[in-house]
Structure 1
Amino acid sequence: MNRKSLIIIAWITFFIGNAIFIFFVPVKTFQMYLLNMLIAGMYSFTIAIGNGLVNDYLSSKYSWVEETRKRTILGVISTILINVVLVLACNYANYIWFQKRDPANFFSGSMGFSNWITINIALLISAILHAKGFIDAWKSSTKQEVVQQKLIAKSANAQFESLKNQLDPHFLFNSLNVLSSLIDENPAQAQRFTASMSKIYRYVLEQKDKELVTVEEELSFAKTYCDLLKTRFEDSVSFEFQVNENDLRSYVVPLALQLLLENCIKHNFATSGKPLHIKIYSENGNLLIENNLQQREQVKESAGIGLSNIVQRYSLLTKQNVFIEKSSSFFKVKIPILTQKTSAMNTQPSNESMAYEKASKRVKELKGFYSNLISYCLVIPFLIFINLRTSPEYYWFFWPMLGWGIGLGSHAFKTFGVSGNWEENQIQKILDKEKYNN
């Protein structure tokens, strides 16, 4: 119990004590006022501090978020026990010690009815406090989850931007190397290469800031880039395109083909006698770049940007993997064709996303149950009071108390019992089945 809680209890004591003194105390003297405030304080501080200590102890041992069911069950049992004990103790002190009534009638007549009403009021207040503690715990957990996901998203975006920023200087560096070779070998081709390179570089500047481009756009650029390579290598390199029409409107990461084509040229030798054949085609939801393996004996040390760049960019956008296949005769890279645009912000794994959605749904269910419980504890005592005031000879309050109680029990069973687990198990079976089929 902190200082703020004690101040709140003091204010509650002040208002309750004054209300009882004004409406229910027949003899209004200063001595009676002080006695009334003392009794009100005894009830408020004893019951509030007792419940607060129990609530704090249970919260320190059992988390509302991770052990919701156990925390709730223990909270209900301990709350009922502690309130019955504390209320009876306060009522005994009030009626027997202060008012000097007969102890033999403590559990009957007006004292018995007062015990029952006071216990219900105490349980109502305790239920509100437990519900508040539950909501505060879930709010704190949800805020932490949101902060963690934002940090993950920001980190992923930073990585993605860093990877995209590699493309601009990488392409320019390799293109200038090709141009440098052509200037010595064939100045006329170098002029044509320079003109083509300006068009291609415009595409690089336009697309490098995008997360995804259509397969059709990437293929169009790749064909232009292949024409540029043909300018240098002539009949030493050949290209073949066989991409399904249905895949043209899907998506790949931008400049992936250009990087992979560069890898083919960089790591393989190509001559008129032994041409390098590069094939680009689609198969089973993947875009494949395959070449006959004619590996160079000595490869100039590379910056390691090309293939690793593609792998990392895909890992930030999707759980589908980039596959590399190598044999003695060919080298093949498979990059996933994505059917819809994604965002680097959507970086949390699907199981975390499902867990977060499940947690949010669970919060709504528990809030609904506690709202129902609080309403029950508030309305039923009021109906009992009306019943006993208007028609004490017929206890009609049992019918709404019983009907609503059955509904409340069913709600509790659905929220904390077997039903919820059964639904979760069935959902998991369906998800596992869909995952297996995919």
Structure 2
Amino acid sequence: MKKAPFKAIIQAILASMVICIYFGIVAKLDHKDTPWLSIILHPNMARGLSYGFILFLGNNYLSKWATKKYPANKDFGKKMVFIYTGSIILTILVVFIVNAFFSDLFIVNSSKNFSKRFYNFVGQQHIVYYFQIAVSSLFISMVFFGFYFYKKFKDYQIKESEQEKQQITAQFESLKNQLDPHFLFNSLNVLNGLIEEDPKKASLFTTDLSRIYRYVLEHKDKSLVSLQEELSFSKAYLNLLNLRFEAGIQIDLHIHEDEISGLILPLSLQLLIENVIKHNVISLKSPLFLKIYRKNNYLYIENNLQKKKVLNGNSGIGLKNIQERYALLSSLPVYIHESDDLFSVGLPIIPETVL
């Protein structure tokens, strides 16, 4: 015999015993002088065992059928209504049939014909009795199957949450994988321009770039890094920009020692600086002013607008990447503001308690 049917039969036996205990107590209350042994051996006890056994197996089948009919999480309420309504109807039918079996309805050698026996049997049935059985069966169904369905409901929620978490993780990994080629592409562009202008500076740039790229490789797979680490890395990158553009770029990094607490997305500050370089004209006649400062729980990167045309199709990938990654990790939005002469981006600083 399979494990599942065997378990259902054991549970059905327990349910039938519960019903017998219920009717035994009711009988004892009505007939206080009757010994317990007489109550236990009374034919009604066998009837009660039949009620419980058949009803539990019937409700078990009903619950499985309802699960197949309403598999969705949102149909939990419909499933419960269907189960309990079906349980009441099933109870009435089972009680009627079991009572008929224990009566003289099916006695062949009776002097009365079947129609008369059936009429007498129906006249002997009491609505209150059926109501008591229905309430008892409904209670047992709520205890056994209500708990079962609630557990299934919670398991479904956990499974749904895990699937959502896995989807977010996969999405986040996909976004992080954009960082490596994006950083390399922009850095090589800077190096290419520097080689044409000053080979000696290009050599220094290459040496510093190797150190910076090591940071990229070590931190690109992390979800968050300390603001202090990101600022130290960005200072090295800003030094490379100063090396290339000299007086063409003016950098104001205004972060005090008491403002370096918190967490930030790795390479987010560097990506924003790349965007500033990429989308603005930089020259001695029209210097680019870049300001980095902290205000409340945001790290701001501001620059004067000197827009230039960007011919490649990757325009905006850095900022979009940052927005999407922050959306997966924090409820705080990335602040973006653009006016006629100023562009500003604010990165949320996440408290260190999240780690």
Q: Report the TM-score when normalising by structure 2.
A: 0.70
Q: 2:102 aligns with which of 88, 94, 114?
A: 94
1:229 corresponding residue in structure 2: 241
Query: Distance between the aligned counterparts of 2:44 and 2:140, measured in 1?
Result: 26
Bigger shift: residues 182-191 or 134-143 = 134-143
State the shift of 1:317 in Å.
0.8
2:268 corresponds to 1:259: no
1:375 corresponding residue in structure 2: none
1:400 corresponding residue in structure 2: none
Q: Which letter does structure 1 place at the counterpart of 2:289? A: H
What RMSD, in angstroms, separates the aligned Cα atoms of the two structures?
A: 4.6
1:180 corresponding residue in structure 2: 192
Q: Which letter does structure 1 place at the counterpart of 2:301? A: I
- Structure 1: gaps (5+ residues): 17-22, 26-34, 344-438
> Could you give the per-residue CA deviations for residues 191-224 of structure 1, whole angstroms, max 9, x where no partner exists?
2212211221121122111111111211111111
Q: 1:75 aligns with which of 73, 84, 91?
A: 84
Q: In the superposition, relative to structure 1, how do residues 273 and 230 fare at CA in structure 2: closer, same or farther (>3 Å)?
A: same
2:310 corresponds to 1:299: yes
State the shift of 1:180 in Å.
2.0
Output aligned runs, 1:115-134, within 5 Å: 123-124=135-136, 126-134=138-146
What SS is found at the alignment partner of 1:67?
helix
Query: Distance between the aligned counterparts of 2:74 and 2:323, measured in 1?
Result: 41
Aligned length: 314
State the shift of 1:165 in Å.
2.0
Q: Which letter does structure 2 place at the counterpart of 1:75? A: Y
Output aligned runs, 1:38-77, within 5 Å: 43=51, 47=55, 66-67=76-77, 71=81, 75=84
Query: Distance between the aligned counterparts of 1:40 and 1:251, measured in 2?
Result: 67
What SS is found at the alignment partner of 2:274?
helix
Q: Which letter does structure 1 place at the counterpart of 2:176? A: K
Output aligned runs, 1:292-371, within 5 Å: 292-296=304-308, 298-304=309-315, 305-340=317-352, 342=354
Q: Is the 1:47–1:122 contact (alpha carbons within 8 Å) kept by the matching residues of 2?
A: no
2:20 corresponding residue in structure 1: none
1:191 corresponding residue in structure 2: 203
What SS is found at the alignment partner of 1:137?
helix
**Matched-pair identity in %:** 37
Q: In the superposition, relative to structure 1, how do residues 278 and 127 fare at CA in structure 2: closer, same or farther (>3 Å)?
A: same
Q: In the superposition, relative to structure 1, how do residues 55 and 211 fare at CA in structure 2: closer, same or farther (>3 Å)?
A: closer
State the shift of 1:288 in Å.
0.9
- Structure 2: gaps (5+ residues): 18-36, 111-119
> Could you give the per-residue CA deviations for residues 252-281 of structure 1, whole angstroms, max 9, x where no partner exists?
101111111111111111111221000011
1:8 corresponding residue in structure 2: 9
State the shift of 1:308 in Å.
1.2
Query: Distance between the aligned counterparts of 1:173 and 1:47, measured in 2?
Result: 71
Q: 2:173 aligns with which of 161, 164, 182?
A: 161
Query: Distance between the aligned counterparts of 2:208 and 2:105, measured in 1?
Result: 103
Q: Is the 1:325–1:331 contact (alpha carbons within 8 Å) kept by the matching residues of 2?
A: yes
> Could you give the per-residue CA deviations for residues 10-36 of structure 1, whole angstroms, max 9, x where no partner exists?
x859x99xxxxxx879xxxxxxxxx99
1:288 corresponding residue in structure 2: 300
Query: Distance between the aligned counterparts of 2:13 and 2:252, measured in 1?
Result: 84
Q: Is the 2:327–2:333 contact (alpha carbons within 8 Å) kept by the matching residues of 1?
A: yes
> Could you give the per-residue CA deviations for residues 304-343 of structure 1, whole angstroms, max 9, x where no partner exists?
4311111111111112211221111111111111114658
Query: Distance between the aligned counterparts of 1:211 and 1:39, measured in 2?
Result: 66
Q: Is the 1:65–1:137 contact (alpha carbons within 8 Å) kept by the matching residues of 2?
A: no
Query: Distance between the aligned counterparts of 2:200 and 2:63, measured in 1?
Result: 85
What SS is found at the alignment partner of 2:299?
strand
Query: Distance between the aligned counterparts of 1:169 and 1:50, measured in 2?
Result: 63
State the shift of 1:238 in Å.
0.8
Query: Distance between the aligned counterparts of 1:46 and 1:281, measured in 2?
Result: 75
Q: Report the TM-score when normalising by structure 1.
A: 0.58
Q: In the superposition, relative to structure 1, how do residues 282 and 53 fare at CA in structure 2: closer, same or farther (>3 Å)?
A: same
> Could you give the per-residue CA deviations for residues 116-170 of structure 1, whole angstroms, max 9, x where no partner exists?
7x98677545433333222232232223222222222122212212222222222
Q: Is the 2:62–2:86 contact (alpha carbons within 8 Å) kept by the matching residues of 1?
A: no
